[in-house]
Structure 1
Amino acid sequence: MNYLTNALDLILGVVFSALVTLFVLRVLAEACRADFHNPVCQFIYRFTNPVLRPLRKVLPTVRRINTAALLVVLVLECLKWLIRAAMAGMMPSPLGLVVVGIADALDFFLLTWIVLVFAWSLLSMFAPDRYHPMVRLVSSLAEPLVRPLRGRMTLGGLDFSPTVVLLGLVLARILVVGPIRDLGLRWFLGG
């Protein structure tokens, strides 16, 4: 790749990551029943509603999972890979494109949860304002993952449940997403 292509790839990655982050947070906020009146949630809902409103007529929410937002995340990830392939002068196989898109979408969800649980555990050490909108959102999204282990992983007065959750999320990225992405890339490249 030349310098211009590298720069375009960087910009492409940043733009698509920002868009995917909003829709992933929308899925997680609805699934975890985050406070709708939180200003951060209001921003996420306001930004994603124009895209999701027409889709939700066709794709209903299933058990608090916004399937329309999941579809948008998958389409954005596939579109990112399609644009990268076009920049490289390639035509990927459709099946490989979808599998790589699924792998990247799953990886993005896991990475988002890693960041949220890490931020939540870091915030708990500093006793921030519990009513700050960002603190409330991070708590409402990270708490459901840590809650089942809370109090069971205590050693010497320290709760290691966030560490165990983070380890599980990182292992899921390695053992689940890695093989799916490798398979998708093989099909993507036509091999």
Structure 2
Amino acid sequence: MSYHSKHLIKLKKAWQLLNNHKRVLTVVSTSVFFSACTSTSAPAEVTDLNNPYVNVQRMDERCVQQIMEQQQVLALASTAQYLSLADSAMHCAEGIVFTPSHPDTQTAMQFSALAFNNYLKAGDIKQAQSTLQAFRQRFPQQDLLFTDYTSFVDTATVLVSHDQLSAHQLEVLNISDKLRSELLRQRKWLMQ
């Protein structure tokens, strides 16, 4: 077997592994994210004059509801639908300044994570990276946790820039054991 044939076979196997891994991550992350997203309802309208949130700009409840409905429909969708939902999710929180005590911070964080997830499913890695960077800037020192208590920020970081992380960094990030072992296995296989 020639040198090029061996590397072509390795590349094909790596591509298959990546696609299988992407499908598993898509299904798992969508179900985990959706369950977290639906468990948080939008806060009721603020009417108490002593409440500090009376003059706070809120997210449009129709926009929030529309995103929730679209997410339910998108089990297996096209690239254009993923991109559309991601853009819509980002639009809902546009122009609003969120502080840790803002009543819509959790929903805005979830919508940013939803946008990241859908950009990733659509294959737009650059936009996913940009969304993750915007999440970090907009919600400094804040994170979302999946149902297994792993970190959204750490998981997203690994998904878009795992090739830039050392084995030690992969070990200390709060990501699922399954994702960590898959990435370490993939690295080991690609180095052979």
* TM-score with structure 1 setting the length: 0.29
Q: Which has the higher helix share?
A: 1
Higher strand share: 1
Greater relative contact order, per chain length (Cα 8 Å cut-off, separation 6+): 1
